[in-house]
């Protein structure tokens, strides 16, 4: 191959001895490449000779005025032009030839294997559980907890087992009528026994005065016989109470009527002993306590009546045909923390209202055993032991049987406080009446355990702003924009997202929901507003921050400030990247919501509000409802799905704490649960104080030989005094 310099000389005519012409500034590169390619073909081995191309100087080129001669500069071509070797043909693989060269595959002879019997999997090995995501595990645990909650119904109290067997299979309406009838009958029995107790107290006072006036005279057997007979009549009338109490004593099961029944028997035994051995009555320290025993039976009947009337009142809600909701706490601690973060200090216990189709276990919950039954059993056993010990101690030191029996009876009377029969029945009665007025249900002591520890509640913005509290004060349109299209698109998005503005825009289109368009990809951007696709247009509804976030021009802040000073809020509507309309909205507080909020805040229950409206803020809520903005929390959009899952319809919930779904009814059910627990705690404290003071009083008078001062009227007055004190203090607890 010739060198590049020779090739260039040949092209310029230097090899023929000609004078080199001035180099052209604009050389024809394409022609140069063509000449190189032709020469390369001529030098290939075996190539046929072709006609030699004309020299470069014979080409006809237009004359040009060349500048002064310049020194020729050696130029280099790209490497592609320096390679004159022929390119190798593309690689081809002959597959058939390769297959023919391979040796044939030898077949493997078939082998006969003995068939083994199929072995069943061992029963001891459990099947592997499918892998569950954490969210699925939470759902599974929640479902299991609800199933256990449904099955763990309390046992019917011994006092109402016969009634439950009689009306347990009846409808709710029939149960309500039967409960009302049983309550009225129990009230009548309590009234009759109260009259008998008053008559016997009068006779006991007469005998006491006779002994004071004639200390050496034995009381008349006729008077003692009448007193004992009246006491026996009281016991016969109260046979259901005695049967319930003594049966519980044998089985050692909880029963609030056990102290009354056991103490009455001891009083009757004392009266019979005084009738058989009247000479012992010459000692003025011996008292007649059978009237106090009858008073205990009257209180037991009245306690029954109070419980039955409460159950009858609650049956009215259960038998109603409107929707029922059950407030429930959030068992997932992580979700509970997210729902109350920044709202409450410490551990958050939020409540979510959940709709249910059926309230189950009404009778077992309303007439079930509660704390008073457990305390009654403990007091009866402790009173029997303490009374026996005090009587034995007195007999060993005085050798007086009637006096020892008197001390024993007095000690057992102190261990049978009347407040034990009412310290749960009265709070449940008050709570049921309050909940019923608000359209709710509070049945049994279980209602105090459901939501008594709640410190937050999750509600919707619609609960705070019903349709009557949202007003459209004006519309500002942009020039050249169709307001009818804007209203229709806005209504489509707002109705689908559940905004508080839905009813306002539905009224603007005449409540014709068939005109609404399908909104897709609706999303709420926290604190800013809604974005969606309606047709082929991107729609934005919210505050100025939302439009600025999406690059849409908005009016100045001074423009908004003028409306804010008048108590109005602006909601911007943008379509296809352009501001279309501005809606002027006015919010007014609801009286029902205001009462419910004040009720919740008085009981230290704060509010988490779920909303898609940017005009609903903590500051706005605090200003409208006259409370601190820190009492509210706006729910983040990432928690919407979790909240809706726990609001989903459930088939069965216990008939302990329920409401009709309104905000006021929900607030009433939560407040009732907490306040009833407070009242029960107060009643338990008062009962303990009366018990300690009573035991100390009996022991002191017995040691001083002054039991004459602890007559039947005094003992009855002592028990009634502490009952009245307990009820008054429970009454002071505001619901």
Give the residue with greater pLDDT, 655 vs 61: 655
**CA 461 from centre of chain:** 17
What whole-number percentage of the chain has pLDDT above 90? 53
pLDDT over 60 at 317, yes or no? yes
DSSP character string of 186-213: HHHHHHHHHHHHHHHHHHHHHHHHHHHH
pLDDT over 90 at 240, yes or no? yes
Give the residue with greater pLDDT, 103 vs 566: 566
Give the residue with greater pLDDT, 540 vs 33: 540
Question: Which pLDDT does position 149 carry in this prediction?
Answer: 47
Question: Which pLDDT does position 191 carry in this prediction?
Answer: 96
Out of 3.40.50.720, 3.60.20.10, 3.40.1110.10, 3.40.50.300, select the CATH number for domain 466-587: 3.40.1110.10
> Average pLDDT in the 493-501 region?
92
Confidence of residue 153 (pLDDT cuts 50, 70, 90): low
Question: Which pLDDT does position 637 carry in this prediction?
Answer: 92
Confidence of residue 113 (pLDDT cuts 50, 70, 90): very low
> Average pLDDT in the 578-591 region?
91
pLDDT over 70 at 44, yes or no? no
How many CB atoms neighbour CB 485 within 10 A? 16
Question: Which pLDDT does position 356 carry in this prediction?
Answer: 93
Q: Where are the alpha helices (DSSP H) in 238-289?
A: 239-251, 258-276
Question: Which pLDDT does position 243 carry in this prediction?
Answer: 93
Confidence of residue 178 (pLDDT cuts 50, 70, 90): very high
The number of C-alpha atoms within 13 Å of 244 and in the hemisphere containing its C-beta is: 27
Question: Which pLDDT does position 424 carry in this prediction?
Answer: 93
Are the C-beta atoms of residues 584 and 473 closer than 8 Å to each other?
yes
- The overall average pLDDT reported for the chain is 81
DSSP code, position 709: G
Are the C-beta atoms of residues 509 and 488 closer than 8 Å to each other?
yes
> Average pLDDT in the 676-692 region?
94
In whole angstroms, what is the distance from residue 425 CA to residue 528 CA?
Answer: 51
> Average pLDDT in the 326-345 region?
93
- Distance between first and last Cα of the chain: 113
pLDDT over 70 at 12, yes or no? no
Residues 6+ apart with CB under 8 A from 215: 282, 284
Question: Which pLDDT does position 201 carry in this prediction?
Answer: 93
Confidence of residue 59 (pLDDT cuts 50, 70, 90): very low
Question: Which pLDDT does position 101 carry in this prediction?
Answer: 55
In whole angstroms, what is the distance from residue 584 CA to residue 570 CA?
Answer: 5
pLDDT over 80 at 366, yes or no? yes
Question: Which pLDDT does position 66 carry in this prediction?
Answer: 44
pLDDT over 60 at 17, yes or no? no
DSSP character string of 460-493: EHHHHS-GGGEEEEEEEE-TT--HHHHHHHHHHH
> Average pLDDT in the 595-616 region?
94
> Average pLDDT in the 653-682 region?
93
Question: Which pLDDT does position 6 carry in this prediction?
Answer: 55
pLDDT (tens digit, 9 = 90+) per residue, 381-438?
Answer: 999 999 999 999 988 888 888 888 999 999 999 999 999 999 999 999 999 999 999 9
- Of 92, 94, 111, 114, the C-alpha closest to 102 is 94
Give the residue with greater pLDDT, 634 vs 154: 634
> Average pLDDT in the 682-711 region?
91
Q: Where do the CATH 3.40.1110.10 domains begin and end in the chain?
A: 466-587
- Of 451, 264, 447, the C-alpha closest to 370 is 447
pLDDT over 90 at 117, yes or no? no
Question: Which pLDDT does position 36 carry in this prediction?
Answer: 42
Are the C-beta atoms of residues 572 and 554 closer than 8 Å to each other?
yes
pLDDT (tens digit, 9 = 90+) per residue, 256-265?
Answer: 999 999 999 9
Give the residue with greater pLDDT, 272 vs 53: 272
- Of 427, 418, 429, the C-alpha closest to 724 is 418
> Average pLDDT in the 235-247 region?
93
pLDDT over 50 at 591, yes or no? yes
Q: Where are the alpha helices (DSSP H) in 341-370?
A: 362-366
Confidence of residue 28 (pLDDT cuts 50, 70, 90): very low
Are the C-beta atoms of residues 710 and 697 closer than 8 Å to each other?
yes
> Average pLDDT in the 167-176 region?
87
Question: Which pLDDT does position 152 carry in this prediction?
Answer: 53
> Average pLDDT in the 201-222 region?
86
In whole angstroms, what is the distance from residue 319 CA to residue 359 CA?
Answer: 10
DSSP code, position 451: S
Question: Which pLDDT does position 96 carry in this prediction?
Answer: 53
């Amino acid at each position: 191959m010739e060198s590049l310099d020779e090739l260039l000389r040949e092209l310029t005519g230097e090899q023929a001895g000609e004078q080199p012409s001035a180099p052209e500034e604009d050389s024809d590169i394409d022609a140069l490449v063509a000449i190189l390619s032709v020469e390369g073909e001529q030098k290939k081995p075996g190539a046929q000779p072709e006609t030699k191309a004309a020299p470069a100087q014979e080409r006809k080129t237009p004359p040009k005025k060349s500048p002064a001669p310049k020194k020729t500069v050696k130029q280099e071509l790209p490497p592609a032009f320096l390679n004159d070797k022929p390119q190798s043909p593309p690689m081809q693989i002959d597959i058939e030839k390769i297959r023919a060269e391979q040796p044939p595959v030898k077949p493997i002879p078939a082998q006969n294997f003995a068939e083994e019997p199929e072995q069943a999997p061992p029963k001891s090995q459990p099947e592997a559980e499918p892998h569950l995501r954490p969210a699925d595990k939470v759902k599974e645990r929640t479902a299991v907890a609800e199933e256990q909650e449904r099955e763990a119904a309390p046992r019917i109290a011994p006092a109402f087992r016969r009634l439950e067997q009689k009306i347990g299979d009846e409808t709710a309406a029939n149960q309500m009528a039967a409960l009302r009838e049983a309550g009225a009958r129990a009230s009548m029995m309590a009234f009759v026994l109260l009259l008998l107790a008053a008559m016997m107290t009068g006779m006991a006072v007469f005998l006491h005065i006779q002994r004071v006036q004639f200390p050496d005279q034995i009381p008349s057997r006729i008077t003692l016989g009448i007193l004992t007979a009246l006491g026996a009549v009281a016991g016969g009338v109260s046979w259901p109470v005695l049967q319930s109490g003594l049966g519980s004593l044998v089985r050692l099961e909880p029963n609030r009527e056990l102290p009354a029944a056991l103490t009455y028997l001891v009083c009757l035994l004392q009266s019979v002993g005084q009738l058989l051995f009247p000479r012992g009555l010459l000692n003025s320290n011996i008292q007649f306590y059978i009237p106090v025993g009858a008073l205990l039976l009257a209180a037991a009947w009245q306690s029954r009546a109070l419980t039955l009337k409460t159950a009858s009142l609650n049956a009215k809600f259960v038998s109603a045909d409107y929707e029922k909701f059950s407030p429930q706490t959030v068992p997932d601690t992580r979700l509970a923390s997210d729902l109350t973060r920044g709202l409450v200090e410490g551990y958050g216990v939020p409540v979510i209202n959940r709709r249910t189709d059926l309230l189950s276990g009404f009778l077992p919950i309303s007439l079930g055993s509660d704390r008073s039954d457990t305390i009654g059993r403990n007091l009866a056993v402790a009173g029997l032991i303490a009374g026996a010990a005090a009587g034995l101690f007195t007999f060993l030191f005085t050798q007086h049987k009637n006096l020892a029996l008197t001390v024993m009876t007095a000690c057992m009377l102190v261990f049978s406080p009347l407040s034990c029969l009412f310290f749960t029945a009265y709070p449940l009665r008050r709570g049921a009446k309050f909940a019923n007025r608000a359209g709710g249900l509070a049945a049994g002591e279980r209602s105090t355990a459901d939501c008594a520890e709640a410190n937050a509640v999750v509600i919707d913005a619609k609960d705070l702003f019903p349709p009557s509290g949202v007003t459209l004060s004006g519309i500002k349109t942009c020039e050249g924009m169709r307001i009818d299209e804007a209203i229709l698109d806005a209504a489509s998005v707002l109705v689908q997202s559940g905004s508080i503005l839905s009813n306002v825009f539905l009224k603007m289109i005449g409540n014709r929901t068939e005109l609404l368009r399908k909104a897709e990809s609706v999303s709420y951007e926290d604190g800013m507003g809604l974005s969606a696709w309606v047709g082929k247009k991107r729609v934005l509804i919210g505050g100025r921050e939302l439009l600025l976030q999406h690059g849409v021009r908005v009016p100045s802040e001074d423009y908004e400030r003028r409306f804010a000073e008048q108590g109005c809020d602006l909601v911007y509507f943008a379509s296809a990247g352009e501001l279309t309309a501005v809606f002027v909205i006015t919010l007014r507080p609801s009286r029902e919501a205001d009462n419910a909020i004040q009720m919740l805040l008085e009981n230290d229950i704060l509010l988490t509000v779920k909303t898609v409206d940017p005009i609903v803020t903590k500051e706005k809520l605090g200003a409208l409802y006259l409370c601190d903005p820190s009492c509210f929390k706006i729910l983040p959009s990432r928690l919407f799905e979790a909240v809706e899952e726990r609001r989903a319809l459930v088939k069965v919930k216990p008939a302990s704490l329920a409401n009709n779904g309104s905000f006021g009814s929900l607030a009433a059910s939560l407040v009732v649960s907490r306040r009833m627990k407070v009242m029960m705690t107060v009643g338990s404290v008062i009962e303990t104080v009366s018990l300690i003071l009573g035991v100390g009083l009996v022991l002191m008078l017995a040691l001083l030989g002054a039991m004459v001062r602890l007559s039947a009227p005094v003992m009855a007055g002592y028990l009634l005094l502490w009952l009245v004190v307990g009820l008054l203090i429970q009454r002071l607890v505001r619901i």
